[in-house]
């Protein structure tokens, strides 16, 4: 089945530093990847959509300069939280959508990574 690997699963960083989160599709090519943020006991908030080889599309209210997204290949997208502050502490989850013609039974579904718990101290 389709697998999306997200790394790291947990990270603690100091305020003012930057943190990079990786999202890899292991057995399919991901034309599109999505980055979500989830607050405690709440739903997922879509932050941005990244397409391989082009600039990410950010949702309204999401700071592009704070949350840098790079989708350099069909199997890797990264989210960098720059100059992190305690209010950036959250659970970040990526998901991937396959390139048309690959990914087997994914159909219209998406595969999610296991998430990254970011704590900024």
Partner 1 sequence: GDSVTQMEGPVTLSEEAFLTINCTYTATGYPSLFWYVQYPGEGLQLLLKATKADDKGSNKGFEATYRKETTSFHLEKGSVQVSDSAVYFCALRGGSNYKLTFGKGTLLTVNP
Question: Alpha carbon of 7 to those of 29, 63, 92, 107: distances in Å?
Answer: 18, 22, 11, 25
Residue 58's contacts (CB-CB under 8 Å, 6 or more residues apart) are 47, 48, 64, 67
Question: Contact letters (x/-) for partner 1, 66-95, by CB under 8 A?
Answer: ---------------------------x-x
- Of 47, 75, 113, 118, the one binding partner 1 (CB under 8 A) is 113
Beta-strand relationship, 10-13 and 116-120: parallel
Interacting span for partner 1 (CB under 8 A) from 13-21, 40-48, 63-71, 74-82: 40-48
Q: Are 24 and 116 in contact (CB under 8 A)?
A: no
Q: Which is nearer to partner 1, 82 or 110 (CB)?
A: 110
**Could you say which of 21, 24, 30, 34 contacts partner 1 (CB under 8 A)?**
34
Q: Which is nearer to partner 1, 14 or 101 (CB)?
A: 101
CA 9, 115, 43, 84 dihedral sign is positive
Stretch that binds partner 1, among 11-19, 60-68, 77-85, 110-118 (CB under 8 A): 110-118
- Is residue 28 classed exposed, middle or buried when 0-12, 13-18 and 19+ CB atoms within 10 A define those classes? buried
- In the complex, the residues that contact partner 1 under the rule CB under 8 A are 6, 32, 34, 41-44, 46, 49, 93, 95, 97, 107-115, 117
């Amino acid at each position: 089945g389709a697998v999306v690997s997200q790394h790291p699963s947990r990270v603690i960083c100091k305020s003012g530093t930057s943190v990079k989160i990786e999202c890899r599709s292991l057995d399919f090519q991901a034309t599109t990847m999505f980055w979500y943020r989830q607050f405690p006991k709440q739903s997922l908030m879509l932050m941005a959509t990244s397409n391989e080889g082009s600039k990410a599309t950010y949702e309204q209210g999401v700071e592009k300069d704070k949350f840098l997204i790079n989708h350099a290949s069909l199997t890797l997208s990264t989210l960098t939280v720059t100059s992190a502050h305690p209010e950036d502490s959250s659970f970040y989850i990526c998901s991937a959508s396959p390139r048309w013609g690959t990914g087997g039974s994914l159909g219209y579904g998406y595969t999610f990574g296991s998430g990254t718990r970011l704590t900024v101290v």
